[in-house]
Amino acid sequence: MSSDFNFPMSEAVRSAYKEGQEDETLLPLIFTNLQGKPAGRIGKDDCVIFYNIRGEREIELTRSLTEDNFVEFPITPDLNLHFATMIEYQKGLNVQVAFPPEETLQDTLSEIISRHKMKQAKITEAEKAVHVGFFFNGKKQELFSGEERIVVPTRKDVAQFDEAPEMSIEKIAKAAMDKIADDNCNFIVVNFPNVDVVGHIENEAAILRAVEAVDKHAGMIIENAREKEMAVIITADHGTVEKWYYPDGAVDTGHTDSLVPFILVHQNSALTLRKEGELTDVAPTVLDILGLPPSTLMTGSSLISQKLTGSEATKRLLLIILDGWGLNDNIEANLISRAKTPVMDKLMGCFPTSRLAAAGEAVGLPAGTVGNSEAGHLHIGAGRKIYSDRFKIDQAIANKYFYQNDAFLSVMRKAKESSKALHLIGIVSFFSSHGSINHLFALMEMAKAQGIENLFIHSMLGRRGEMPESGPLYINKIEEKSLSLNIGQVVSVIGRYWSMDREGNWDRIEKTYRMLVYGDGTKIQGT
């Protein structure tokens, strides 16, 4: 790489800001050569590493690049890519997996309830279906005996949910009340996604509406449950809008490291709770109330201070997960406190409460990191600490095992042997639950060590958890890393809105595909 290397892509993102664009929905930017031809496009027999983690938002793009019979939009047939993913996004994909899943978890909350012949229902809308299903059940997609999942379709008539902060909450509440009316349904999980989903958008008025909608509809179903003499637990998976500002006053649209509430509404008004706990304590508490024995695999323990007898067990329990509803005593920076929440105010004042750790090491994440829906629901349902993929990957980088990974080595050696390009695709962030720029840097270092000559980087930007206009800072870090290693070039940049969908919005994925393969987008000429 020549000494006159410049940083065109980070400057291009800054220029896009001036035109009114922002990171999350940034339209594709394409690096070109002096003749204006897109550089670094994914071509036949090329090699690709998709380094994102989590996985549920990565399936659609991976499918479009790897499936021979893909039909959702027109693609180039027979690309025959040699493709590796950081983790397993979905079973059956035509990829190598660098960090495959460990054994699925046994004796989760839902499995124990099923084993005791109780019926259960999980209710949310499509935005959170994977969390109350797959993650809550210990990374198992299959339903347990007696389990039902009710997924309310996500609205397609809005571009982003600040246009409709209530989302589909009325339908969720209606489905919940139908199940509450069914005396045969023993355990009902209801997830209200509004606060988390709308909280990722910088629109304060919309967030206040989302918080108030959740408060109102939670109150409706709690009232129904109490009329049926059901026990009720209200909690959350992580925090979001209760810390709305960074210390410098900039808006923080990401998740937080806050504690989350745990409220118990029970027929026995004499019950009390431990004042503090972790999300791993939710499952043992549910089992305690239902009169079921916890698994010896569970490291959490019941939050109820008294020892319940078998005669005190209730046959029915409603668990409400207020997605993204954290606790923060600082009212000024707290949009939940600033919203009108009469239901939660009354519950917090009149019923036993606890405060649960929902971030960092408490949910298997690196110390000091914020919580997320994946880890939150996983730990609520599992009742034990489970180390995250991010934690394991960071450890592998630290102890150098990362650089010996068979999947990465296979793809890189194929690129070198066939003189084909290696493409690194993924989120560019320190804070995203979908990946880390440090993982990208480790792959770049590995490619350098393996003697890769043609290395191209395709970056996804997002606003969640990042400072405003952080995109060019990240892209600049990659450009500087490329210069220091004398390898690689950022050749594509796009907002994650277009590349990390999970709702079948194939027009968005097609935009990313056409950027990667055909070079569709705003051309940025290099020097």
| pLDDT tens by residue, 146-201 | 999 999 998 888 888 899 999 999 999 999 999 999 999 999 999 999 999 999 99
Q: Please, what is the Cα angle at 69 between 63 and 73, to 5 degrees?
A: 65
pLDDT digits (tens, 9 = 90+) for 316-346: 999 999 999 999 998 888 999 999 999 999 9
pLDDT at 4: 39
Cα first-last separation, the chain: 12
Are 120 and 189 in contact by the 8 Å Cβ rule? The answer is yes
- pLDDT at residue number 247: 80
Looking at residue 466, its pLDDT comes to 67
* Domain 109-385 in this protein, CATH class: alpha beta
30-74 residue pLDDT tens: 999 888 899 999 999 999 999 999 888 999 999 999 998 999 999
pLDDT attached to residue 6: 67
Both tokens of 451, joined, read 């003697």
Region 299-314 average pLDDT? 89
Alpha-carbon span 438 to 484, nearest angstrom: 15
Of 196, 160, 192, the closest CA to residue 175 belongs to 192
Q: Which of 236-240, 461-465, 506-510 has the lowest mean pLDDT?
A: 461-465
Contact in structure between 188 and 179 (CB atoms under 8 Å) = yes
Q: What pLDDT, on a 0 to 100 scale, did the predictor assign at position 465?
A: 62
pLDDT tens by residue, 100-128: 987 779 999 999 999 999 999 999 999 99
pLDDT at residue 227, rounded to an integer? 97
Phi, psi of 461 (to 5 degrees): -110, 150
Rounded mean pLDDT of the chain?
94
Contacts 24+ apart (CB under 8 A), 168-176: 168/125, 169/194, 169/213, 169/214, 169/217, 170/217, 171/125, 172/123, 172/124, 172/125, 172/217, 173/217, 173/220, 173/221, 175/123, 175/150, 176/123, 176/221, 176/224, 176/318
d(CA 310, CA 138): 27
CA atoms within 13 A on the CB side of 429: 27
Q: Which CATH class is domain 8-100+391-525?
A: alpha beta
Domain boundaries in the chain? 8-100+391-525, 109-385
Return the amino acid letter for 458: H
Nearest CA-CA partner of 363 in 388, 394, 326: 388
Q: Which residues of 516-525 are buried (b: 16+ CB within 10 A; e: fewer)?
A: bbebbbbebe
Backbone phi, psi, residue 196, to 5°: -70, -50
What is the percentage of the chain residues whose pLDDT exceeds 90? Answer: 83
Q: Tens digits of per-residue pLDDT, 213-249?
A: 999 999 999 999 999 999 999 999 999 999 998 887 8
- List, for residues 447-458, the tens digit of each pLDDT value: 999 999 999 999
